[in-house]
Structure 1
């Protein structure tokens, strides 16, 4: 693929230039150039991360001192680096491919050029050229059978650019001097003119043969172009060609099968254009097929089918079931990977590989990912110059290759067998039921206290340094680049590829709240119960106390004006969290309520959350999750309203972001509490129903593999403990999230204690998010609770009712923070203001004490504020 020219950009402003080409127009060319210095290398790495697959990027690094930085740039995706002679020799000694380097010529005289290029076969760069005739002369002498020659100009103009382009040099032109619309910007250099300067045509009408392909390079059809049609394509961002009969042909104008322009390139002989497009509608051909050479085949055909199935799957479609059941899909990927490992003959390998491709591509489409993006990732990996050893992880080499492995590296036959209804039984000799789901057990009387404390340790989280290192750059990007950064992170982390705005504003369209009557009734019931409980927490009137005659002190409450509610959307849809956070905010009277929640891959938000947002009177929904959503709420963006307090649970990145912004005085924002993974502690005695106990433990274990559940068994015998263990396993293996439950149970424990006093001592030490008391006379045991987020009393009070509909709040302190924090309540949304009012008599009564203490503290102005009023010295 020939590179006709490079657009020179400033990394700091390429996405929002003051003049010239914007990032979209730049992407049509696809080839960009940037000069780096010691202060801009960080910008270069960030740019490469953001533009993978969009641009082929060339960097002038001749002023950099670090060879390691240059190698890292190549490893991060730079197409070529422009280097001085010393750097070239160092990179060659590091065994860097010379095709990735361009030698910057030290001067522009003929002798300097000859001396520089002698003995080397790398591409060369003549920069800031003034003597165009001299460069023309040595290009002609150099000939065409040579490495590439890049040229930049001291004073770029269209005439000089075209002169050198016709000699097959590659001009480097500042992007601010280029235009895709020469009629509007006649003083600028026309992109189409430079692009076509070296193109030839053997047709009598002078039209250029044009091959139209999709992003994967699949040929869609053959058409013709002219300089006018190319200019119009670049101007409109669409596929526009030259019809031999009708003039300009705007593809899809009548049929609706339009094309979005991705890029325009040349072939090696410069006699054929290649249009790369995103084809919309039925396809390219007038016969309504994907291509003029027939329908798609292979992976492209499968991708087309999967996209249709995702939007309108026929009833009973297996693919539709995979889209709606991610655990089944994950299990099938693991199963097919295992079967590919077992395949021996050529036909067996082809059969199993095809199965694996099908399920893997289904996973991609479900995540909003395309084959083109996967291939871009492959291309990016191929450009790396640093190579890892490439050994398999230990978990995959220490067990026989015929066993299944899940994506966390743990051996996981059960994840496959528990979630797939169409397994090949002869390839799965180990039965799921043989692998018990069981908690570790300790008898406290038989173990030292240190071991019991160790058993109650929460699952280890990633180090705070590691988390902060990831979160800080995200927060800074949101602070400095606002909506643009928010959309980029949403696309990157949530795979929401269609968003044009990060915010959905009220009033919310009814079409976004299409719910079943049963779901609406359930939300309405929960809403009302939560409202009643939190409304009862309102203070009836201000607190007024006369502390001494004539001295009246009061305290009154006011709602926090602007609140941001973070509703997670990772492994489950959580409208219940929207209710728990939103209803108290509404009851408190907060003037502005903003919800933030990750969007689905198609850019939409779950209808349940939209329905709740409408009921609580939310101003807007921010379509983002993670640290980027927290930062947007804390600092505000062009579209996101800044808030005064952020509430809601989240993963480690969300928690870290909340802690960072709450400690940043420029943000001016507070948070509800730190948070960790979900947890429950169940205290059970001989009166407890084993099935109830197991169900309560599993209801929290299914939240995530980092969740923890604890059972404190008060005086239970071995048969009674075994009954709970049996129930736990029997109930778990039929649950759809059994693989998550297994991960949680791995770090969960049963503690056998002698009496209720010891049980509550350990419970208070652990300070659980949820405490369930399945014991005799449970109500009386509540008096022993010192540390807990929320308590569920008696066998008829499962934790689930607190999560959804009883009325208490489920946004609670976890990871032991119940020792210091309350769960979310009405008080979380209000602030207290105190006031004092004194009569003259009151000031006389208290004035002496005030003046004396001010004197002791040597604050004379304080003392005089009283003495002046009382007329004393």
Structure 2
């Protein structure tokens, strides 16, 4: 079952804590060679490569790589009413939160005739990847598409692996989510090949290259995103999902265990970490985890995740120590199930998304909170953020100086240009005043 790490009575630096972290040994570089071969195959053989890869890796050969619009319409029409209602509400909430993220253009006046404007330009075309392995992710369609639309992206393409159970087509619920959002460019392709197709395009498929690739995926998708970076932009190299819960003695062990199991059911490599300052609570939570793991629908997967080196119950001396541990870990999802979550929040600086109190489980964020569930994993929350409107925008500075504004800084420019031994820089300014 889940391991215990007892850090009571010890003091550790951030670097030392990093060495104690329960982490899955996911080496993206180990998949690089295979991913590169798949990408090169697509660049050389175009659609034929994608079809062969689907047959070999997904166990089915799609009848068509690009999903016909009639299939998108049919998927929407046949969607169960309760699921459609839930998807539409999720779209509404994510759109509301995304709209609030839109930055406002700002112009700064630095003197008479000296203006610098900060503007935000949407990326022209993006490729959105929706995984399709152990689970179905129409929610990921929403999380990728909505912020791109709010940002003003004009061209959106979506890819998801072909499904053997649906004749080589994209899962109908994923198609329905795309249809509800007005996306009509959808491809039945997955893995590294799909990422390569987005980056370089597929001429015989009519797939134009994109400028940015976003969305989660497996280790081969992560490796492919690393390989195409520079040819296109990427959001992040997403890895297995993570949940870290900080809980004190007042937390409900049943709810804490339920939330840990909810993420463990994603994947055998999913990380479930509980950090608590109460040894008694750790014991109670462990007992509840055992019960839930035995009765879980995906019990084998859950037990493998909880028993893996990436999962643990960590016992610390105080909530301050718990916050320090969490900051060093940089979790994708962080829950604060403590007596005063707002007070503890002030000590948190590294997390993809933070869920406060017992009525804000990670499952809420996965679907209906309005926040985005495409978040940094593997400790990347220490230096990056989750998907949002800003992902699809490029900040640009527009400089507008008139003659008087330039004259006001001409001497300073000349001094700095000469100090850097770049006299032509100075000359480009003084030439504008040579007739005076």
Alpha-carbon spacing, 1:860–1:529, altered in 2? closer, same or farther (3 Å):
same
Name the counterpart of 1:475. Answer: 39
Q: Which has the higher contact order (CA 8 A, sep 6+)?
A: 2
Which 4+ stretches in 1 moved above 3 angstroms?
Answer: 446-455, 505-509
Alpha-carbon spacing, 1:872–1:445, altered in 2? closer, same or farther (3 Å):
farther
Match of 1:682 among 237, 240, 245: 245
Match of 1:866 among 422, 426, 429: 429
Name the counterpart of 2:219. Answer: 652
Name the counterpart of 1:661. Answer: 228
If you compute each CA radius of gyration, which structure gives the higher value, 1 or 2? 1
Give matches, 1:393-432, under 5 Å.
none
Deviation at 1:752, TM superposition (A): 1.0
Q: Is residue 287 of structure 2 the alignment partner of residue 726 of structure 1? A: yes
CA contact (8 A) 2:28 2:223 kept: no
Alpha-carbon spacing, 1:753–1:872, altered in 2? closer, same or farther (3 Å):
farther
CA contact (8 A) 2:67 2:169 kept: no
**Superposed CA offset, 1:687-708 (max 9, x none):** 1011110011111111111111
Name the counterpart of 2:304. Answer: 743
**For residues 509 and 477 of structure 1, what CA distance do their matches in structure 2 show?**
29
Secondary structure, counterpart of 1:503 in structure 2: coil
Name the counterpart of 1:603. Answer: 168
Name the counterpart of 1:754. Answer: 317
Secondary structure, counterpart of 2:67 in structure 1: strand
Secondary structure, counterpart of 1:553 in structure 2: strand
**Superposed CA offset, 1:483-526 (max 9, x none):** 111111011111122x2431125465422332110000010111
Alpha-carbon spacing, 1:447–1:439, altered in 2? closer, same or farther (3 Å):
farther
Secondary structure, counterpart of 2:134 in structure 1: coil
CA contact (8 A) 2:116 2:399 kept: yes
Q: Is residue 92 of structure 2 the alignment partner of residue 531 of structure 1? A: no
**For residues 833 and 839 of structure 1, what CA distance do their matches in structure 2 show?**
20
TM-score w.r.t. length of structure 1: 0.48
CA contact (8 A) 1:773 1:791 kept: yes
CA contact (8 A) 1:507 1:614 kept: no
Name the counterpart of 1:442. Answer: 5
CA contact (8 A) 2:109 2:116 kept: yes
**For residues 452 and 593 of structure 1, what CA distance do their matches in structure 2 show?**
41
Alpha-carbon spacing, 1:855–1:455, altered in 2? closer, same or farther (3 Å):
closer
Match of 1:774 among 325, 337, 360: 337
Deviation at 1:627, TM superposition (A): 0.3
| Unmatched 5+ stretches in structure 1 | 1-437
Give matches, 1:480-519, under 5 Å.
480-497=44-61, 499-506=62-69, 508-513=71-76, 514-519=78-83
TM-score w.r.t. length of structure 2: 0.94
| Unmatched 5+ stretches in structure 2 | none
**For residues 475 and 672 of structure 1, what CA distance do their matches in structure 2 show?**
19
Secondary structure, counterpart of 1:595 in structure 2: strand
CA contact (8 A) 1:531 1:587 kept: yes
CA contact (8 A) 1:812 1:822 kept: yes
Name the counterpart of 1:634. Answer: 199
**Superposed CA offset, 1:379-410 (max 9, x none):** xxxxxxxxxxxxxxxxxxxxxxxxxxxxxxxx
**Superposed CA offset, 1:657-704 (max 9, x none):** 0010014xxx3x100012211111000001101111001111111111
Deviation at 1:454, TM superposition (A): 4.2
**Superposed CA offset, 1:726-766 (max 9, x none):** 21111121111111111111121111112111110000000
Count of matched residue pairs: 427
Alpha-carbon spacing, 1:678–1:856, altered in 2? closer, same or farther (3 Å):
same
Give matches, 1:699-714, under 5 Å.
699-714=262-277
Query: Higher helix fraction: Structure 1 or Structure 2?
Result: 2
**Superposed CA offset, 1:517-576 (max 9, x none):** 000001011110000000111124x11001233210011111111011110001000111
Give matches, 1:544-559, under 5 Å.
544-559=107-122
